[in-house]
Structure 1
Amino acid sequence: MKTTTLSLMLFAGTALAALPAQAAGSLNLICSADVVICEQMTGDFQKETGIKVNMVRLSSGETYAKIRAEARNPKTDMWWGGTGDPHLQAASDGLTLEYKSPMLDQLQDWAKKQAEGSGYRTVGIYAGALGWGYNTEIFSKKGLKEPKCWADLLDASLKGELQMANPNSSGTAYTALASLVQIMGEDQAFDYLKKLNGNISQYTKSGSAPVKAAARGEAGLGIVFMHDAVSQTAEGFPIKAIAPCEGTGYEIGSMSIVRGAKNIDSAKTWYDWALKPEVQSRMKDAKSFQLPSNKSAEVPKEAPRFEDIKLIDYDFATFGDAEKRKSLLERWDREVGTAAN
């Protein structure tokens, strides 16, 4: 009898000890950054909070489409990472929730402007400039010249050597499309993209995939965010990052809570946690070399600095607008995508 009572007491004690983790809840997260940082963030958050994270990795364009399709019955609570344009589009479509984090005052001005411009339905978490990374060994073996400008990518010697992502699925590629439109004007940008298509071997789904292919020797060059090229260099691959001489656009990687989120408290907990300086300082450990949005976060020494790059005054409001985005993507499908098939 005493043994049975003791066993029951021990069982009850064990059950009670397990309660905090159960009470912590869960979070359904879509991560639109590189899978390595997605997994690191998920693991760190679970360890710190006890909240179970169900994480799926999807590109920005795919995530926007999924959240829109599920608007009446959301399956996602939090969307972390990926370019800001589709986050802004989701905000303007009323697909995400207004939330003013107590961490806002600690953020860089560009991150605050992203929040203000969206009615506080998204916020900047990191930033990075667009460019490309090329495989120096492949270029050397084939006698190819280092391309320093957008115009250089049209050189006939680069036929079949280039990869970029499809702007319908990839925020990186949409940023490239929107940047070229702002640099050249829309008609000239599409003329450029049609000519560039002759040198493209593949349009990938993911924005970072082209430079990973270059790192593996499957392509000569990938049009990507420069920090994704730097990540491959840090892994030991012969990749050199380039900022285009004519100027280039940049992303403000963003974070949004989905309207109708089932686990709203867990989503807000993630939101505040992801803006902490110590969390953003850890991103470099996953070889993620963006510029962090918290002013006190450590900037990785490898991160391409904005002051060293000729940046355009990227118009986030215009190119994050749903109608503008739709018209540009439809034109890309008509004039570039069909030619690629």
Structure 2
Amino acid sequence: MACSQQEDFCQAITRAFEEQSGLKTSYVRLGAGEVLARLQTNPGEFDVWAGGQAENHLIANDRKHIELYQSPNAAALPKQYNDTTGIWSGFYTDSVAFCSNKTELERKGVKAPTSWNDLLNPALKSAVAMPHPATAGVGYMAMFTVATLNGGDEAKTIKYFQQLNTNVMQYSKSAATGTEQAGRGEVTVAIALDSDCQKANQAGFSDLVTTYPAEGTGFEVGAVSLLAGARNAAGGKKFFDWLLTTDAQNLYAGIPSFAAPTNPEATVGPNVPPQDTVKKVKWDIREAADRREAFTKAFETDIASATQAQ
């Protein structure tokens, strides 16, 4: 399995599936961008891909890396959590948020951000963490969110992130890195998933607070797909089926994972950020997939490389 979730989540679901199915199961934890690259260079390495935004699974399908599969258990999920053609099904959901260190906010004399423009505050110079859009799905989610708020305008989107660049201390490889940096006070604010911020808070970084942009934020449907060329397609299908069940999704509360399960009968863990109260932008999964390459290339050329040159 290629697993695009936090390490302890990958460990827990792998162990639980192996125990329940009797199938020897292993995983490699990779960000969504890393999985897409690995599928290009080493097809057939994995049987199934669990985690990562649904738009990345569409990209994998566009590149002929997905074996269409409609699980019989998908019918238990709300329709927005299934691709009608069998490319993917969703097994968790969460939203892009701002994860801030309260002590650092007070030290800088600023409030927790409640809009994307708040991140441009000069008081936050070199004090923001953001995952790199090319390697971590959350980084691209942030880009596509800003693009959506700008009516899809690429130039305005790149201009925003060029302005933000001054305040970014680091573009991290992993989505969860920023929440840990904020927890330690190395940065003041991290652009992160609300579930990752809550996880870090509960892990001991109690100074962290989660806020959302009032104008709207992006969200993910964390997806599972069967991969083309799988050496154990039957096992991959069994894992796919299992991951959509309450048996699997009830595990989230105990891991603990602070993403919300998609199976409406599954147990929602304590302190999971309520997704129905978050103002979300209209998220077009197909458009997000189609524009990923252009946006990430523009980010690398116009923003990240400019930072390296400074």
Q: TM-score range by the shorter chain?
A: over 0.9
Indicate whether 1:335 and 2:273 are aligned. no
1:22 alignment partner in structure 2:
none
Give the length in aligned residue pairs. Answer: 305
One-letter code aligned to 1:246: E
2:123 alignment partner in structure 1:
157
Q: 2:58 aligns with which of 88, 106, 126?
A: 88
One-letter code aligned to 2:157: A
Distance in 2 (alpha carbons) for counterparts of 1:156 and 1:245: 20
Distance in 2 (alpha carbons) for counterparts of 1:182 and 1:126: 22
Q: 2:74 aligns with which of 104, 108, 112?
A: 104
Indicate whether 1:122 and 2:88 are aligned. yes
Distance in 2 (alpha carbons) for counterparts of 1:207 and 1:108: 27
Distance in 2 (alpha carbons) for counterparts of 1:312 and 1:142: 30
Indicate whether 1:224 and 2:189 are aligned. no
Greater Rg over alpha carbons, structure? 1
Q: Is the 8 A contact 1:132 1:211 kept in 2?
A: no
Deviation for aligned residue 1:272 = 0.7
Distance in 2 (alpha carbons) for counterparts of 1:288 and 1:50: 24
Deviation for aligned residue 1:166 = 0.6
1:172 alignment partner in structure 2:
138
One-letter code aligned to 2:260: L
- TM-score calculated relative to the size of structure 2: 0.95
Q: How does 1:1-341 map to 2 (within 5 A)?
A: 29-71=1-43, 74-112=44-82, 115-116=83-84, 119-184=85-150, 185-237=153-205, 238-321=207-290, 324-341=291-308
One-letter code aligned to 1:270: F
Q: Is the 8 A contact 2:99 2:208 kept in 1?
A: yes
Q: What value does the CA root-mean-square deviation take over the aligned residues? A: 1.2
Deviation for aligned residue 1:299 = 2.0
Q: Is the 8 A contact 1:160 1:198 kept in 2?
A: yes
Give 4+ residue runs of structure 1 displaced > 3 Å after superposition.
none
Distance in 1 (alpha carbons) for counterparts of 2:55 and 2:141: 8
One-letter code aligned to 1:41: I
SS of 1:103's equivalent in the other structure is helix
Deviation for aligned residue 1:279 = 1.2
One-letter code aligned to 1:174: Y
Deviation for aligned residue 1:141 = 3.1
Q: Is the 8 A contact 1:85 1:171 kept in 2?
A: no
Q: Is the 8 A contact 1:77 1:261 kept in 2?
A: yes
Bigger mean CA offset, 137-146 vs 47-56: 137-146
SS of 1:91's equivalent in the other structure is helix
Q: Is the 8 A contact 2:113 2:212 kept in 1?
A: no
Deviation for aligned residue 1:143 = 2.7
Larger helix percent: 1
One-letter code aligned to 2:81: A
Distance in 2 (alpha carbons) for counterparts of 1:88 and 1:286: 28
SS of 2:166's equivalent in the other structure is helix
Deviation for aligned residue 1:278 = 2.3
1:13 alignment partner in structure 2:
none
Q: Is the 8 A contact 1:166 1:204 kept in 2?
A: yes
Deviation for aligned residue 1:186 = 2.1
Bigger mean CA offset, 255-264 vs 181-190: 181-190
Identity of aligned residues (%): 29
SS of 2:5's equivalent in the other structure is coil
Specify every segment of 5 or more residues in structure 1 that has no aligned partner in the other structure, as ranges: 1-28
Deviation for aligned residue 1:70 = 2.0
